[in-house]
Amino acid sequence: MKTETLKIVIIDNDEKLHPLYQQYFTDSLLYELVAIYTSVNQFIPNAVRTRPDIVVSEVNLTGISGIDGIPYFKKQNTSSKVLMISGKCDFEIIKEAFRKGSDGFLTKPLAKNRLLNAIAELHQHGVALEHEVAKKIIHSFQVKTFESFSKKENQIIELLTHGYTYKMIADRLCVTPSAVNFHIQNIYVKLNVNSKSEALKKLQEMEVRQLNAA
């Protein structure tokens, strides 16, 4: 039984990369590179004609950004998968891309195997994440940071919620126990609590709200 060729569209404003992309898909029996565009605006009038199965788009584009372009990529073909690419492995960018509907995220530079493997993952499993991006996402949920606290207070909160005693925190951060106590008293004031148990409960509630908002 013949496998249907997947149609690929790439949107990247770095025209020096276009010949490289074309080379990647030369002689491919699985994928057909139907078009390369430099902007979302250039893609839109051709969307009906190309109807790509997978759109590979740079995040940072002139005019409509790659992330804001995701609804346009999926408008003509709701089953289309979108793979965002960027020179930055920034969690805020990654989070916004997935919030808008991206199905995968890769960081540049893109070797042939990395790009084709990601496209295969998208087609077979519906999502594509390389290790560095996955680690960035996991790390963002593992490390507790709250905007209302200072960097040192956030460090102490992280250790406190993992069961560290005041002395253990002091040893870990190379400060005195009295300095730890000073910071913890400030944390209590900001949380409007009077005990460690109350503080831990309120921090847990804040973490849940933060994760829900992510």
- Per DSSP, the three-state class of 163 is coil
Mean pLDDT of all residues in 117-130? 87
The total of other beta-carbon atoms located within 10 Å of residue 16's CB is 7
Question: How many contiguous H segments (helices) and E segments (strands) does the chain have?
Answer: 11, 6
3-state secondary structure 25-54: HCCCCCEEEEEEECCHHHHHHHHHHHCCCE
Q: Please say whether the beta carbons of 56 and 83 come within 8 A.
A: yes
Mean pLDDT of all residues in 78-102? 88
Strand partners for 86: 107
Band (pLDDT 50/70/90 cuts) for residue 138 is: low
State the Rg of the chain over Cα: 23
Give which of 45, 102, 109 is closest to 70, Cα–Cα: 102
3-state secondary structure 87-143: CCCCHHHHHHHHHHCCCEEEECCCCHHHHHHHHHHHHHHCCEECHHHHHHHHHHHHC
Most confident of 65-74, 126-135, 205-214: 65-74
Q: Which is more confident, 206 or 110?
A: 110
Indicate the range of 32-36, 55-59, 142-146, 161-165 predicted with least confidence.
142-146
**179-209 confidence digits (pLDDT tens):** 999 999 999 988 888 888 888 888 877 776 6
- Per DSSP, the three-state class of 81 is strand
Residue 1 has a pLDDT of 41
- Per DSSP, the three-state class of 55 is strand
Residue 57 has a pLDDT of 97
List CB contacts of 12: < 8 A, sequence separation 6 or more. 18, 21, 36, 38, 56, 57, 58, 85
Residue 92 has a pLDDT of 81
Most confident of 88-97, 134-143, 147-156, 170-179: 170-179
> Is the full-model pTM beyond 0.85?
no
